[in-house]
Amino acid sequence: MLGICYNINAMKGKTVIITGGSRGIGKACCLAFAKAGANIVFTFSKSQKEAEELTVQIKNLGVECLNMQADVRDYNQCRTVVEKTIERFREIDVLINNAGITKDKSLFMMLPEEWHDVINTNLNGTFNMTKAAIITLLKQKKGCIINMSSVSGIVGLPGQSNYSASKAGIIGFSKALAKEVAAQNVRVNVVCPGFIETDMVGSMREDIKKEILKSIPQKRLGKAEEVADLCLFLASDKAAYITGETIKIDGGLAI
């Protein structure tokens, strides 16, 4: 089903903003949407080199690309991302709020700043980017917002009280917003990845990874490209009647 979106005309001429786009799931989304013909705007937090390399990859696919270093915790920086996107491409068709961090630790060991950093980046960052873009989408009377949550926001995971809270908050935020903007032809959906092959998971100890695999019914990690394909489907006309949904992509982990 998802593969039908993967042609050069599926998103041709559309403009997609992806936060945290220089690596992992964000990078996979950038490339998937570019292959489908969309112009890409992505943000990154630190690595200018990775951002420039990805920009070249995207432009080699025959579409336009704009990268911006931005901190999603800062509403004014989010507003600048939206303004520069409109200035360059005139409209926004898709917003993917992907930027996020983890600072895992048992609650009794967690510092207040570790709680606030994760909430401010994951949850407040999603609010900031969405708030910055929503007037444009409503004026256009069209648009798609995809918010990246996690299975941790559904079932909760030990050592992730800050992360689980931020991701659960994204789900509630998205459901409320979906009801607010549906009549203006703006759709809001949530994607909840499980354990995906990214740098974050790759840095885990091997014994922890083995335990994780035991808990996944499919007995494998997901791929960033699989998450990107789901996002591509949700942004396409094939999903025009889907809004307010929370979709897990986790190999059965949260069944």
Domains of the chain: 2-248 (3.40.50.720)
Report the pLDDT value the prediction gives residue 6, as an integer from 0 to 100: 52
Whole-angstrom CA distances from 74 to 2, 123, 127, 134 are 34, 12, 10, 16
Report the pLDDT value the prediction gives residue 1, as an integer from 0 to 100: 41
* Active-site annotation holder among 6, 75, 163, 241: 163
163 is catalytic: yes
| CA–CA distance, 142 with 138 (Å, rounded to integer) | 7
The better pLDDT of the pair 207, 62 is held by 62
Per the CB < 8 A criterion, the answer to whether 116 and 136 are in contact is no
Per residue in 197-234, pLDDT (tens digit) is 987 777 777 888 888 899 999 999 999 999 999 999 99
> Concatenated DSSP letters for 29-42?
HHHHHHHTT-EEEE
- For the segment 9-38, the average pLDDT, to the nearest whole number, is 96
Q: What is the pTM of this model?
A: 0.95
Per residue in 69-119, pLDDT (tens digit) is 999 999 999 999 999 999 999 999 999 999 999 999 999 999 999 999 999
Q: Is the pLDDT of residue 155 over 90?
A: yes
Report the pLDDT value the prediction gives residue 87, as an integer from 0 to 100: 98
